[in-house]
Structure 1
Amino acid sequence: MAQPIEGFYAVIPAGGVGSRLWPLSRADAPKFLHDLTGSGQTLLRDTWDRLAPLSGEDRIAVVTGRAHRAAVEAELPGIPDANVLLESEPRDSAAAIGLAAAVLSRREPDVIIGSFAADHVIRGMRTFEFAVQQAVAVARDGYICTIGIQPSEASVGFGYIKKGDELVVEGAPEAAAVERFVEKPDLDTAKEYFADRSYLWNAGMFISRADVLLAELERNEPELHAGLMELAEAWDDRDRRGPVVDRIWPTLKKIAIDYAVAEPAAERGRLAVIPGHFDWDDVGDFASLAKLNSRGRGELAILGGNARVLADASSGIVVSQTKRVISVIGVQDIVIVDTEDALLVTTSEHAQRVKGVVDALKLSGQGEVL
């Protein structure tokens, strides 16, 4: 793109631990602070580089936890201090994105914001940029817009968006109304969705005028909206911000923006979708990480700058953060993650079950490895 999109502000929610990527992803080093693709930089930095041409570097806000401030600012040395919005504790995506909308709306009443997760992998910049351009055009018309991904397989790991009637919006030839959201399906249902090209993966990307998003939030979650507006009123006053955040933020309802804003907007015919024709992955578990990094089917992907791996007739992924020699012989779809204080061994088929290990460690009082 030659010029950033006029009136557009990118928002990067950088939260969540990524518990299905334990023990690589931890509370003090969540997955957005890792290089998971071999690009030589973190997923957060990749996200910044992807959004900067669309908004300009001075129009990207990051919403993250206080504990991650130093790491985020080290990764993004060009980010203005005012554009780092700090949460005192995680309160889910409606609070994070709503805070950005409320703060940015006070600074610029007509601003259009686009929210893009810090820990997703996207390949195909031209098609991504075109999708965002269309979504901004739809947002100017007063809709809340999401970008749905054209499925490449019958996946049970994602929620789906049912695309409805086409919308006539100048500058957005692919715009359509959202008929409904669908939770993660079973395999047979996922195969039906894949055959029906009107179903798209829900990638959690939302583009809207900030005031429109806030009005929808007020309609559906008035107490959450009221708290966010009080926060925004004090946000740019350094003396007032800390006490107000400490008082209000812990009381905010934990709810995803899908439930607080997107699904109710879809029911009222105010949610639109643009199909995304680019490669996208939320790197949700080690099976998807193996696919991202494998050079070919049946090969073993290896991550780690100093990994010492010997492989023979094996496939899957090995992630090593130690100097240990790891030998993998005659096993298929293996997942090995070796860190200084924890070792994970599973298979791609069971990669989603890693979250259960994290839950078990919490219950057993072994949170020091999380």
Structure 2
Amino acid sequence: MEANFYAVIMAGGGGTRLWPLSVQERPKQMLSLNGKRTLFQMAVDRLEGLFPAERILVVTVAEQARKLQEQVPEIPAENYLLEPMPRGTASVVGYAAAVLAQRDPGAVMAVLTADHFIEEVEHFQAVLRAAKSVAEQGYLVTLGIRPTAPATGYGYIQRGESLGAFGGQEVFRVQRFKEKPDEATARGFLERGDHDWNSGMFIWTVEQILAEIARWMPELSEKLAAIRKAWDTPERGAVLAQIWPTIQPQTVDYGIMEKAERVAVVAGADLGWNDVGSWDSLFEVLEGDEHGNLVVNAQHLGLDTHASLVVGDGSERLLVTVGLDDMILVDSGSALLVCPRSQAQKVREIVKLLKENGYHRYL
């Protein structure tokens, strides 16, 4: 373990595409989608041996922190950095960097996600070690995922010149970041072979990322400096509560990564990665039964049911299906979702409809 290497887990998201199980009080990262460990617990599990618990920080909103602490009590309570409200990943990154700068000015931070599947843990740790070496040369480093399909739901990273191999991992300068493409464009990216999926995971020194924020987002930098100054004083809570709502929401990709000059990508990592962006994506990370069905946290009896997903709330209620093919059924106890697998991405639209029609008790 390297003493100056820290993990920062972003754990404040809502995951609306996994409604009705993912709701405000129990967002995506708190769900157990394999019937065993929650996504947050799995995110911490895969850091074992590389980051001790005292060097794992979690950035989340206050109402989620207690439940996350209950799931992973080994992370010290003071390592939970509370956002008064979501303000985008640029503020999350800056917040964590400002706090780490107080604790360890020479820190290198790996910014990681709380709600993704990563199957190849040993490879993942090797990639993080390699990325740390690159970051220590003054680069902002992102992890690229080798595309397996012309996906339209991910951003892409185009690789530029090679920077060589670090720890056995090939590293390139980033030529440009590209937004989520249409299918024809994504197919072109795949055929060219010089694009990776943007995983949303980053590695950099605290010093470098704070310098980039000062350069590209000076207003945010000033507010982070005020928070940092008050951090070890009795005024911390009051200063954070006063300043945080005034921060303009922005992503770190748009605010920093697309503008910075020294940006590198550890390319084409084959991590068994999936961002679990829809119910249908579970078929990519879990193994079905002899009929191709996935049953998660449910008692299920199926007749002539094939290639379907059945998710329960862990209760003893029996879910019975007859004649289902390529369907999704999710029972949260208070709401029931039924849709074809091909329509799984539209769940986000349902959440919007619930809000518009006043069904807030189901959110």
Output the TM-score relative to the length of structure 2: 0.95
Note the alpha carbon deviations across 1:37-79, whole angstroms, 9 max, x for none: 23x1111111111123222221000001110121111111111
Q: CA deviation at 1:169?
A: 6.6
- In structure 1, what is the Cα distance between the partners aligned to 2:191 and 2:321? 38
- In structure 2, what is the Cα distance between the partners aligned to 1:52 and 1:61? 14
Matches within 5 A, 1:59-208: 59-168=55-164, 171=167, 173-208=169-204
Tell me which residue corresponds to 1:333.
326
Q: Is the 8 A contact 1:141 1:169 kept in 2?
A: no
2:241 aligns to what SS in structure 1? helix
Amino acid at match of 1:21: L
Amino acid at match of 1:367: H
Note the alpha carbon deviations across 1:278-321, whole angstroms, 9 max, x for none: 110000111102332232696110111x4233242421211112
2:243 is aligned with 1:251: no
2:343 is aligned with 1:347: no
Consecutive unaligned residues of structure 1, counting only runs of 5 or more, are none
- In structure 2, what is the Cα distance between the partners aligned to 1:298 and 1:210? 50
1:328 aligns to what SS in structure 2? strand
| Greater CA drift, 9-18 or 220-229 | 220-229
- In structure 2, what is the Cα distance between the partners aligned to 1:298 and 1:22? 25
Tell me which residue corresponds to 2:275.
282
Note the alpha carbon deviations across 1:128-155, whole angstroms, 9 max, x for none: 1111111000000000000100112221
Tell me which residue corresponds to 1:28.
25
Amino acid at match of 2:44: W
Distance change >3 Å, CA 298–CA 307, structure 1 → 2 = closer
Amino acid at match of 2:302: L
2:34 aligns to what SS in structure 1? coil
Q: Is the 8 A contact 2:126 2:167 kept in 1?
A: no
- In structure 2, what is the Cα distance between the partners aligned to 1:174 and 1:291? 26
2:285 aligns to what SS in structure 1? helix
Distance change >3 Å, CA 18–CA 42, structure 1 → 2 = same
1:53 aligns to what SS in structure 2? coil
> 2:295 pairs with 288, 293, 302, which one?
302
| Greater CA drift, 248-257 or 313-322 | 313-322
- In structure 2, what is the Cα distance between the partners aligned to 1:72 and 1:19? 18
Q: CA deviation at 1:5?
A: 3.0
Distance change >3 Å, CA 82–CA 59, structure 1 → 2 = same
Distance change >3 Å, CA 297–CA 201, structure 1 → 2 = farther
| Greater CA drift, 67-76 or 113-122 | 67-76
Q: Is the 8 A contact 1:310 1:325 kept in 2?
A: no
Output the TM-score relative to the length of structure 1: 0.93
Q: Is the 8 A contact 2:230 2:236 kept in 1?
A: yes
Amino acid at match of 2:295: I
Q: CA deviation at 1:333?
A: 1.7
Tell me which residue corresponds to 1:51.
47
Note the alpha carbon deviations across 1:172-225, whole angstroms, 9 max, x for none: 651100011111111122222122221101000000001111111121111112
> 1:320 pairs with 312, 315, 331, which one?
312
- In structure 1, what is the Cα distance between the partners aligned to 2:197 and 2:173? 15
Amino acid at match of 1:317: L
**How many pairs are equivalent?**
361
> 1:264 pairs with 249, 252, 259, which one?
259
- In structure 1, what is the Cα distance between the partners aligned to 2:6 and 2:210? 15
1:302 aligns to what SS in structure 2? strand
1:41 aligns to what SS in structure 2? coil
Q: CA deviation at 1:326?
A: 2.6
| Greater CA drift, 239-248 or 138-147 | 239-248
Note the alpha carbon deviations across 1:319-346, whole angstroms, 9 max, x for none: 1125443332333221111122111111
Amino acid at match of 1:84: Y
| Greater CA drift, 214-223 or 198-207 | 214-223
- In structure 1, what is the Cα distance between the partners aligned to 2:104 and 2:119? 31
Distance change >3 Å, CA 298–CA 308, structure 1 → 2 = closer
- In structure 2, what is the Cα distance between the partners aligned to 1:236 and 1:33? 30
Q: Is the 8 A contact 1:33 1:44 kept in 2?
A: yes
What's the RMSD between the two structures over aligned residues? 1.6
Amino acid at match of 1:310: G
Q: CA deviation at 1:348?
A: 1.8
Consecutive unaligned residues of structure 2, counting only runs of 5 or more, are none
2:324 aligns to what SS in structure 1? coil
- In structure 2, what is the Cα distance between the partners aligned to 1:112 and 1:173? 18
2:235 aligns to what SS in structure 1? helix
> 1:41 pairs with 37, 42, 55, which one?
37
Tell me which residue corresponds to 2:12.
15
Q: Is the 8 A contact 1:163 1:176 kept in 2?
A: yes
> 1:221 pairs with 217, 233, 241, which one?
217
Distance change >3 Å, CA 235–CA 307, structure 1 → 2 = farther
